[in-house]
Amino acid sequence: MGEKGTEKAIDFAARNGHLHVLEYFHSIGYKGSDQAFDFAVRNKHLHVLEYLHSIESKGTEVAINCAAMYGYLEVLDYLHSIGYKGSDQAFDWAAYYGHLHVLEYFHSIGYKGSDQAVKWAAENGRLEVLKYLHSIGYKSTDWVFDWAAYYGQLYILKYLHSIECKGTDMAVNWAAAKGHIEVLKYLHSIGYKSTDVAVNFAAENDRLEVLKYLHSIGCKSTDWAVNWAARNGYLEVLDYLHSIECKGTD
């Protein structure tokens, strides 16, 4: 077996938690790459990590980020105890995946995230994470609100509204584009207005029920709505627009 082949074999053994195989390779003089350590983190093999550390095999910054992404608090605590440091990406990924316990741990040891942590928590519907981030000083911007609308996160929008976080016109436009009719209704109920841009986005993305709803509250279609629907081949939308006497351009 060549050196590269053995290195790969060690990496695979670490990934699958086969400590006895790692010990065998080490006994005959072979070492793995830093990927062996990172693979062990990814698959939560703490016993493998402890062994690799004992033979001075090291991982990369990916190790902390991976553990945060998967919510492996015990692994994170171990990595931190042996000197590994993560970037703000580790914090942000924990927020993305909703690992509140990891965020609490990171905060307790002085780790900080970026604005991305709040955005990712909002767009992925991580309400408890979002509340926690606000409780420790992170702020939501209008773009956080808008992205929550884009992804149809109604409960997040209600929470953001309750703390007086506002969005822009794009919140309505994106909700229309993505077909989130309940989000649209909620936004209208708290004072957001739809424009012809929302109508055009709905037509462009084949959101027939959204179009009907927007027209029911007085929004008007433009020739661009017809043009976009025609370009994308949305016959039902075209038929509906024709039924309300909306025409495209030449």
pLDDT tens digit sequence for 54-83: 988 888 888 999 999 999 999 999 999 999
Instruction: Determine the pLDDT at residue 152.
Output: 98
Whole-number average pLDDT of the chain: 92
> What local confidence, expressed as pLDDT, does residue 2 receive?
42
What pLDDT is recorded for position 21? 92
Q: What pLDDT is stored for residue 60 in this prediction?
A: 83
Among 171, 115, 184, CA closest to 142 = 171
HSE of 239, CA atoms in CB hemisphere, 13 A: 4
Name the H helices within the chain.
3-15, 19-27, 34-42, 46-54, 62-70, 73-81, 88-96, 100-108, 115-123, 127-135, 142-150, 154-162, 169-178, 181-189, 196-204, 208-216, 223-232, 235-243
What pLDDT is attached to residue 87? 79
Q: Quick one: CA dihedral 96, 97, 98, 101, positive or negative?
A: negative
Q: Note the pLDDT tens digit of each residue in 187-246.
A: 999 999 998 999 999 999 999 999 999 999 988 888 889 999 999 999 999 999 989 876
Q: State yes or no: pLDDT of 5 exceeds 70.
A: no
CB 194 within 8 A of CB 219: yes
Q: Which residues contact 240 (CB under 8 A, 6 or more apart)?
A: 208, 211, 212
What mean pLDDT do residues 111-125 have?
A: 96
pLDDT number for residue 88: 82
Please check the confidence at residue 30 and state whether its pLDDT lies above 50: yes
Is pLDDT at 16 greater than 60 in this prediction? yes
How high is the pLDDT of residue 248? 54
Residues 6 or more apart whose CB falls under 8 angstroms from that of 144 comprise 118, 119, 122, 160, 165
How does DSSP classify residue 234?
Answer: -
Using the predicted structure, report yes or no on whether residue 32 has a pLDDT greater than 60. Answer: yes
pLDDT mean over 75-95: 92
User: Of 68, 84, 56, which Cα lies nearest the Cα of 36?
Assistant: 56
Asked if pLDDT for residue 35 goes beyond 90, the answer is no
Express as a percent the part of the chain with pLDDT over 90.
77
Token code pair at residue 1? 């077996």
